[in-house]
Amino acid sequence: MMQSGLIDDWRPKGGRLTVIRPSESARAAAIRAPIDATPPSFQQDAYLEMARTAKRDGRRFDRLILCAFTLQGAPDIPALVRALTIVVRRHDSFHSWFEIDSDLGVQRRVLAAEDIELVADSWGEIDGPLVSRILQRVTPGPSSWDCFTFAIIDHGGTFTVVVASDHIACDAVSGGIISAELTQLYFDPTATERLASAPAGSYREYCEGERSRAAELEARSPQIVAWADHIEANGGRLPSFPLPLRDPDTRDTAAASGRWVLLSGALADRFEQECARAGVRLVAGIFAAAALAEYEITGRTSYFNLSPKNTRSTAGERRSVGWYASLIPIAFDFDPAEGFLDVARRADDAFAAGRSLSAVSLHRVVELLESREGFEVRRGWVAPMLSFLDLRKVPGAELFSAMDFSFFGSRGTSEEVYTWVQRTDDMIWMASLFPDTEVAAGSMARYSGLLTRTMESIARAGSPALSCDVA
């Protein structure tokens, strides 16, 4: 099963460590690179604003994404360097960087692909738990071009490949793309020509297109109106986690994580069968269960949440590294007495309607509506997110399982709760990132237990036995 969580929880097997990083000449070329007028994507822009705030306050800010997988044999380091160089030159997300100047302004610089070269540096024998600390230390944050690092851990007979990049340059899907391309280039001499015949989409062009489409929208555009309706029905605010996360007089935003098995074995299968009986996808069943669990906490019969969406749409984009992301608003009313089947159908309809709005960035919605009376959302907003992924249906899932593929993120900060529910062959499990407070830890334990009980009741009886216990 693919592992995920915080980088601090990653426990690779130790061995001989080789770190592969941009060369001095490549870093010098990046500093000299010309300014490019293409704006960052909306996601990058919001992220860079947090980085600017951190720089103003004298703090380092970064969110490192790390993917690791294991290959058989002894590593050929020169061959791996060549393969990784091809990958980095192929994807223009690695060609750009955003300079934060002394006035905290941001400008994009773009260097030529041929100026990028990577070099290997041997670190000798390193204990596994130290590897993540090393990678976090040597990989700079989002205002440096060289905010990506590759590493090889030679265990003797097998080796682990590590891809680490700041979020500014990639997302979770990117980690899989890089890993797949690297493996092809390393083992197959013909892969270079095959990849060249299927070029990756340009992330810079994606940014330009996203901004151009957003500029055409007005406050009265149908997509903006639909987004506004969801938010205004929630009192003009974005959703929030239904339980307290911190004491009222604290603002601690450091992140903690937790992982819970919601259903396993036959119960997971029976929950999925109940979703099929309702005629909905498993993702709708998950959101329906979440709505019923929140009803027991809050007594609310209106559910509102956000779910991240991969926005790659063209064949080239599906081969492209970058931060391709937007949000799906999922909002629906329900009657708890209806039972799970009806609530799941409402959730399914809401998910389908929300997907049609995900092409419009919530950041653009806020730009257009933040001055409207009663609209409380402002730039720099935070909100909980709930994501579902069926790992059985991920392309190449069998290969990733055989390679012991893992995905991790750095601790960073968390003002809200970000939850990933995943389905594997033998279970449905949940991982969450939340504020590192005792209050939040207690709330997450309560929430996960309640969601588990709700889903178990659905699996066993077709509908949960509800008891509204308002917090």
Report the alpha-carbon distance of residue 183 to residue 325 in Å, rounded.
25
Mean pLDDT (the chain) is 92
User: What are the tokens at 317?
Assistant: 């984009």
Q: Please name the residues in contact with 408: beta carbons below 8 A apart, sequence gap of 6 or more.
A: 3, 4, 5, 6, 7, 9, 10, 65, 66, 67, 68, 132
Average pLDDT estimate for 161-184: 94
Report the alpha-carbon distance of residue 221 to residue 205 in Å, rounded.
24
Does 67 have pLDDT greater than 60? yes
pLDDT tens-place string over residues 362-381: 999 999 999 999 999 999 89
pLDDT tens-place string over residues 101-134: 777 778 999 999 999 999 999 999 999 989 999 9
pLDDT tens-place string over residues 404-450: 888 888 877 778 999 999 998 899 999 898 999 999 999 999 999 99
* Residue burial 213-245, b: 16+ Cβ < 10 Å; e: rest: ebeebeeeeeebebbbebbeebeeebbebbbeb
**Confidence at residue 63, expressed as pLDDT on a 0 to 100 scale:** 87
pLDDT tens-place string over residues 216-237: 999 999 999 999 999 999 999 9
Report the alpha-carbon distance of residue 470 to residue 242 in Å, rounded.
10
Does 9 have pLDDT greater than 90? no
Does 308 have pLDDT greater than 90? yes
**Confidence at residue 469, expressed as pLDDT on a 0 to 100 scale:** 56
**Confidence at residue 468, expressed as pLDDT on a 0 to 100 scale:** 61
Average pLDDT estimate for 70-88: 97
pLDDT tens-place string over residues 232-290: 999 999 999 999 999 877 766 677 888 899 999 999 999 999 999 999 999 999 999 99
Cβ atoms of 323 and 166 closer than 8 Å: no
Report the alpha-carbon distance of residue 157 to residue 70 in Å, rounded.
11
**Confidence at residue 321, expressed as pLDDT on a 0 to 100 scale:** 97
**Confidence at residue 251, expressed as pLDDT on a 0 to 100 scale:** 65
Q: Residues, the chain, total? A: 471
pLDDT band at 471 (very low <50, low <70, confident <90, very high): very low
pLDDT band at 93 (very low <50, low <70, confident <90, very high): very high
Alpha helices (H) in 356-390, listed in sequence order: 362-369
Cβ atoms of 164 and 94 closer than 8 Å: no
**Confidence at residue 105, expressed as pLDDT on a 0 to 100 scale:** 79
Q: What is the pTM of this model?
A: 0.91
